[in-house]
């Protein structure tokens, strides 16, 4: 395991440990050429790029909505579950 000398948090993977270390150093090596926003990980940077390209690779077969982020898509899919969503949107009633 890899342990952070700054905060003691442990990581199984060297890559995860190195990304974590950047929290303490402030380093953000992945910079968007379009808007200047910077990121610690390449995956966060690639996800951000979709805000500029409009790419939405996650499509709902039930209703046709599309999402750029897998987590948002998975959250959306819960609305189509047989027993309904696990929560009610607080904004729907407004």
Phi, psi for residue 71 in degrees, rounded to 5: -65, -40
Contacts of residue 32, Cβ cutoff 8 Å, sequence gap at least 6: 38, 39, 45, 48, 49, 52
Say if 14 falls within a structural domain: no
Say if 8 falls within a structural domain: no
Say if 63 falls within a structural domain: yes
Six token digits for residue 9: 């948090």
Distance set, CA 9 to CA 4, 17, 28, 85 (Å): 5, 9, 20, 35
For the stretch 40-51, pLDDT in tens is 999 999 999 999
Say if 86 falls within a structural domain: yes
Domain that holds residue 83: 59-94
Say if 29 falls within a structural domain: no
Question: pTM of this prediction?
Answer: 0.68
How many independent structural domains does the chain possess? 1
Say if 89 falls within a structural domain: yes
Please identify every stretch of the chain with a pLDDT value under 50, giving residue numbers as ranges: none
């Amino acid at each position: 395991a890899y342990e952070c000398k700054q905060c003691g948090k442990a990581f199984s993977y060297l890559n995860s440990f190195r990304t974590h270390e950047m929290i303490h150093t402030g380093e953000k090596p992945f910079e968007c050429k379009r808007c200047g926003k910077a990121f610690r990980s390449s995956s966060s940077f690639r996800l951000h790029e979709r805000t500029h390209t409009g790419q939405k690779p996650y499509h709902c077969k039930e209703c046709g909505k599309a999402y750029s982020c897998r987590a948002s898509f998975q959250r959306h899919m819960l609305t189509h579950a047989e027993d309904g969503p696990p929560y009610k949107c607080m904004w729907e009633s407004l």
